[in-house]
């Protein structure tokens, strides 16, 4: 297969799911801001329940950040290490049975097979690997010739080739 160009590579793209734990930073920052406003601008003295709610919001945010970071970065790090060590499979050929995600609903799995190997991914599931659906500008379609490196169900390298 000649004339292939890289459309996605896990190691080049890096940790793309940083935005998910960042939601916790936003929520924690908002809780902290509410706490400061209530403490210095609101009615004096601050009620125990108000203080507990603000501090509780900050604690929940910290727990969310830790869990989200360990899940998303852990997933990326595991795949990156396996990919670096050559612990992946490769398949090449034409995309067959391509089924787009449902853009009207804004989510859903995109599915296809290459050389009898089924692939499936979605933009609405936070996981490492290639997940760019056609609805969000992804390049894949029925009949396209590709070379894919994958680990489990995750696409770690996608090359689009001339037919």
Q: How many domains does the chain have?
A: 2
My answer on whether 47 and 103 are in the same domain is no
- Indicate if 73 and 97 belong to the same structural domain: no
Angle between helices 48-84 and 19-40 (to 10 degrees): 160
Pair 72, 97 in one domain: no
Last residue of a domain, one of 50, 68, 84: 84
Same domain, 29 and 72: yes
- Same domain for 61 and 100? no
Q: Which residues constitute the domain of residue 148?
A: 5-12+88-161
Q: Over its length of 163 residues, how does the chain's per-residue pLDDT go in tens digits?
A: 678 999 999 999 999 989 889 989 898 888 888 888 888 887 777 788 878 888 888 899 999 999 999 999 999 999 999 999 999 999 999 999 999 877 665 567 899 999 999 999 988 788 899 999 888 888 999 999 999 999 999 999 999 998 7
- Among residues 62, 84, 106, the one where a domain terminates is 84
pTM: 0.81
């Amino acid at each position: 297969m000649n004339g292939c160009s890289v459309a996605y590579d896990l190691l080049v793209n890096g940790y793309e799911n940083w935005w998910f734990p960042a939601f916790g930073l936003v929520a924690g920052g908002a809780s902290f801001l509410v706490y400061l406003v209530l403490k210095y601008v609101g009615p004096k003295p601050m009620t125990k329940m108000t203080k507990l709610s603000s501090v509780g919001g900050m604690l929940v945010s910290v727990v969310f950040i830790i869990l989200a970071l360990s899940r998303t970065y852990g997933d990326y790090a595991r795949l990156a290490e396996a990919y670096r060590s050559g612990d992946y499979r490769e398949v090449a050929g034409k995309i067959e049975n391509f089924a787009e995600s449902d853009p009207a609903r804004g989510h859903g799995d995109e599915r296809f097979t290459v050389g009898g190997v089924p692939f499936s991914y979605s933009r609405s599931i936070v996981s490492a690997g290639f997940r760019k659906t056609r609805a969000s500008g992804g390049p894949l379609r029925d009949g396209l010739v590709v070379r894919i490196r994958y680990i489990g169900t995750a696409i770690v390298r996608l090359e689009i080739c001339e037919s």
